[in-house]
Amino acid sequence: MKIELGRRLFHDGDLSWDGTMSCATCHEQKRGFADPNKTRPGFDGQPGKRNIQTLANVAWFGSLTWGGPHVDTLEHQALIPIEGFVPVEMGFGGKPEGALAQRLKDQACYPQLFRAAFPERRGEISIDTITMALSVFQRSLVSLDSPYDRYRRGDASAIPDQAKRGEQLFEAKQCASCHAGPHFTDAALPERKPIEAFHRLAWPTEEGEDYGLGDITQVEADIGKFRTPGLRNVALSAPYMHNGEIATLAEAIRHHSVDPNAGDPRLKQTISGAEMAELIAFLETLTDQGFITNPAHALPKPGCPVAEDAALANEEANSARLHNSPAGP
């Protein structure tokens, strides 16, 4: 029941101050739970700071934001859009303590859902149980059945030869040194520390530019470093980079390969037109159609499932009593 509660909260605009913005507003299932905007304005129109990342397989990630290795649990991360100030997203920061919890308590269905999901806490509705339920739902967002996955499980026909060559290039061009492991990010490698998943593609060149990790650590060597994003469903999650400045996969690949000032030999490689096509073909095989259409992740149907389940159980119990009565049915 925690997953179902989390799903309803995830899709509910009441998690924003004015009721207009849900988690799903920015994390669209059809886009791999990413967002088509460069950055997403908050409920009050305040400009967003960074591009919205996909939620596919976040259960395995050791760090959960573009710039902060200290945000290492989904419960902590959920507080940022709900209560954060830089930027303001959903707008509960600075509002009366318990305002969101009280809003949910005042609704007919949520008290029943929280009692079913948190019997050990007697149905407590608080920011803690809200973020716990959201986190349980997000941990259920597993994307591991793309054509590439079926290919790796032994179905040689699951992806075209062009994509197979692209996979080889992905390794040869050292893309996999950062986009590593089954989730295509070193942020999900258990043997690495969270801070080791932050890398710099280029030094910031303009005053006021986002310093990423450097804004958190205040260490010059960390300026311009951002966490490696996962690549699951990447063909659906444009635009790319921490600020959404890159519109296409081809541009994103080129951005990783042509910076002469990067100081990292992995970013000084040339890629031919044919290689570019092969890399894109490979990345497109990471699209998991079952994941982006799974009804278990989608907007719930109207009604209260706990009340409906209770009514069904009562109906079945009455039917059983009638069937087992001396008079028979």
**What value does the mean pLDDT take over residues 252-264?**
72
Identify the residue with better confidence: 318 or 11: 11
One-letter amino acid of 294: N
What are 40-82's pLDDT values in tens digits? Answer: 999 999 999 999 999 999 999 999 999 999 999 999 999 999 9
Distance between terminal CA atoms of the chain?
34
Identify the residue with better confidence: 318 or 270: 270
Residue 270's closest CA among 280, 283, 256, 281? 256
161 vs 175: CA distance, rounded Å: 19
227 three-class SS: strand
141 vs 196: CA distance, rounded Å: 24
Both tokens assigned to 119: 């019997």
- Mean pLDDT, the chain, whole residue set: 91
pLDDT at 313: 45
Backbone angles phi, psi at 240, to 5 degrees: -120, 170
The DSSP-derived string for 56-81 is TTGGG-S--SSS-TT--SHHHHHHHH
206 confidence band (pLDDT: 50, 70, 90): confident
Range with lowest mean pLDDT among 111-115, 267-271, 303-307, 321-325 = 321-325
121 vs 111: CA distance, rounded Å: 12
pLDDT at 269: 78
Q: Is the pLDDT of residue 285 over 90?
A: yes
pLDDT at 326: 47
Angle made by CA atoms 197, 198, 201, in degrees to the nearest 5: 125
Q: What are the E-state strand segments in the chain?
A: 198-200, 225-227
One-letter amino acid of 296: A
What are 225-248's pLDDT values in tens digits? Answer: 999 999 999 999 999 999 999 999
Q: Is the pLDDT of residue 205 over 70?
A: yes
Domains of the chain: 2-142 (1.10.760.10), 147-289 (1.10.760.10)
**What value does the mean pLDDT take over residues 164-193?**
96
